[in-house]
Amino acid sequence: MVGTVHDLSQFHVEAKYDAARMFYATRVLPALVRRLDHVLTVSESSRRDIVEFCGVRPDRVTVTPLAVDHGLFRPLRAAEVRERLAGIGIAAPYVLYVSRIEHPGKNHGGLIRAFDDLKARHALPHRLVLAGPDWTRAEAVHEEAARARCSADILFPGALPGGLLAALYAGADLFVLPSLYEGFGLPILESMACGVPVACSGTSSLPEVAGDAGVTFDPGDPRSIAHAMESILEDRTRH
């Protein structure tokens, strides 16, 4: 019996889920993983977690990284991006984060505070687009956005179909992934496939996925997030 385990973020992010789900994820799931004859996972980071938290021998875990659909996620002409996004009221310039709206693990709050700081210190014309469906404790994210000085420039378009999502990536000046923990971080590859620069957390699997092509930051420090964003946006302005 072979099974895939994408991540064990529940061991890294306190109160990631409700109490019942946390009990299942931290007590029951590791026991089920140990029963597998072989385990597939998506990153070396997750492989280390499976060995540590599930007690599985390293030789019973194989890493099979995820990949991007280049037929869908690819650079698009500016006119095509404008046409596709006109219906959802989003226009350039903007900074993008694609994730379910979840608190605290996806760290929308840290990104919002970093973006608010950038808007206050610079005449930044960008808006912040937080695409994805509401999930666990999404209300905390919406409240954080409402408190921001730049709240009018923070957009929540919700979940989007593939064609719109690809256009949203392609039209961004910057993609930011500030998660506290990810088993892989596929949006990094999707944004890069669309020709968009990436700033991401320097934790878990994300530096492994981004490699030398991404700028990393400390997800627990909004100033670090803001600095990474600023360095990329200034570079794009110069070029």
CB 169 within 8 A of CB 136: no
pLDDT grade for 236, boundaries at 50, 70 and 90 = low
- % of the chain at pLDDT higher than 90: 92
The reported pLDDT for the residue numbered 95 is: 98
String of b and e for 6-17 (b: at least 16 CB within 10 Å)?
ebbbbbbbeebb
C-alpha 22/C-alpha 15 separation (Å) is 7
The reported pLDDT for the residue numbered 14 is: 84
Q: At what angle do helices 108-121 and 222-238 cross, to 10 degrees?
A: 50
CB 145 within 8 A of CB 194: no
pLDDT grade for 238, boundaries at 50, 70 and 90 = very low
C-alpha 190/C-alpha 165 separation (Å) is 10
Mean pLDDT across the chain, nearest whole number?
A: 95
pLDDT tens figures, 149-194 = 999 999 999 999 988 999 999 999 999 999 999 999 999 999 999 9
pLDDT tens figures, 88-116 = 999 999 999 999 999 999 999 999 999 99
- Please determine, for residue 26, whether its predicted confidence score (pLDDT) is greater than 80: yes
